[in-house]
Structure 1
Amino acid sequence: MDSETLAESLIEAIGAAQDGARDRVQEMVTELMAATGLPAKVDTEAVLEKVGAIGDAARRRFDEHHDDLNEVRRAF
Structure 2
Amino acid sequence: MYIRSMRILTEIPDQQLTDLADICSARNLSRAEAIRQAVDAYIERNRPAREAAFGLWQNAHNKLPKDGLKYQERLRSEW
Instruction: Give the helix-richer structure, 1 or 2.
Output: 1
Regarding TM over 0.5, the answer is no
Higher relative contact order (CA 8 A, sep 6+): 1
Q: Under a length normalisation based on structure 2, what TM-score does the superposition of the two structures give?
A: 0.31
TM-score by length of 1: 0.32
